[in-house]
């Protein structure tokens, strides 16, 4: 399922619940997260820190910054978590999430 946002908008935030292969929430206590967003041609659009909003439930969010949504298109997104022991895991493990920036009318 894709996340849709209008061109040049910075709201709403993009939230994700990270789960393991059994569908259980990943414990993010002491972890940090980043979002990587690339266009369909592979050009990096966003490489930025995310906020862990509920560590026990595996919930993270990204607050859009000016310029993040200025280009209409479909983007592949992944979330990279660095755990407190410095190990790294990327979500989703298979494929990508999708963000679609829809053109504004004016």
51 and 59 Cβ atoms separated by less than 8 Å = no
Q: What is the pLDDT of residues 35-50, one digit of tens each?
A: 999 999 999 999 999 9
pTM above 0.85, yes or no: yes
Q: Given its phi and psi angles, is residue 95 left (phi above 0), alpha (psi -120 to 50 degrees) or beta? A: left
HEC per residue, 55-102: CCCCEEEECCCCCCCCCCEEEEEEEEEECCCCCEEEECCCCCEEEEEE
Domains located in the chain, CATH noted: 2-102 (2.60.40.10)
When pLDDT is cut at 50, 70 and 90, the band that residue 106 belongs to is: confident
């Amino acid at each position: 399922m894709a996340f849709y946002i209008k061109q040049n908008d910075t709201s709403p935030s993009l939230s994700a619940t990270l789960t393991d292969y059994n569908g259980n929430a990943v414990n993010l206590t002491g972890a940090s997260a980043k979002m990587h967003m690339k266009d369909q041609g592979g050009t990096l659009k966003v490489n930025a820190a995310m906020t862990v909003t509920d560590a026990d439930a595996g919930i993270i969010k990204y607050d859009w910054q000016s310029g993040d949504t200025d280009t209409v298109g479909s983007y592949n997104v992944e979330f990279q978590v660095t755990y407190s022991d410095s190990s790294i895991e990327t979500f989703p493990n298979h494929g990508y999430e999708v963000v679609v920036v829809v053109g504004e009318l004016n």
